Amino acid sequence: MERYAVLFASMGQATRGSAGGYLRPARLRDVPRLCAILWSALKEAEVHRIHMPWEDAGVMSRAIRKGMVTVWQEGARAQGFCIRDGQSLHALYVSSAMRRKGVGEHLLKTAQGAATAEGNDLRLYVLAANRGARAFYARMGFHEVAEGHGLGNDEGLADLEMRWSRDGHMGQGEQT
């Protein structure tokens, strides 16, 4: 949680966006809602859930305890979240009701800002079939750098590694 303490202290309510919500660090009491957002997104994408609900809740709880989870709060409910650790963006999910309202952009810009403050670039893996997510990340400055065959993800589906550089330049040997 320390990693975000300065970032969130400086942001306060100034992180309000077009959706009318705000960013904050996740709390353990958010776990059920964050898992519901995750499971709903997987169902909509027709991706078969691999883990049991309590396993997902355990992973989410550990990430929250480590200060890796940022939440978009709208009214009384969390409506989106991202999980970032150093250079890795592990997850970014937004509730179906809040998609295309700037929530994902706010979450991702916050992750990019925190990474920049730490001197890091970002990388993520996205399912190759998820064209919407790939286009979103490309608009946000990420570049596709490698293809995978599903050996490194839980779903066993083809994926792509995408990278974002804080200085806008691609690393050696990387391509778009």
- What does the alpha-carbon distance between residue 45 and residue 52 come to, in Å, rounded to a whole number? 18
pTM of the predicted model over 0.85: no
Q: Where are the domains of the chain?
A: 2-120, 121-176
pLDDT of 78 reads 96
Q: What is the pLDDT of residues 63-83, one digit of tens each?
A: 999 999 999 999 999 999 999
Pick the CATH number of 2-120 from 2.60.40.10, 3.40.630.30, 1.10.10.10, 1.10.3210.10: 3.40.630.30
* Whether the Cβ atoms of residue 90 and residue 126 lie closer than 8 Å to each other: no
- Share the mean pLDDT of the chain: 84
Whole-angstrom distance, CA of residue 9 vs CA of residue 51: 35
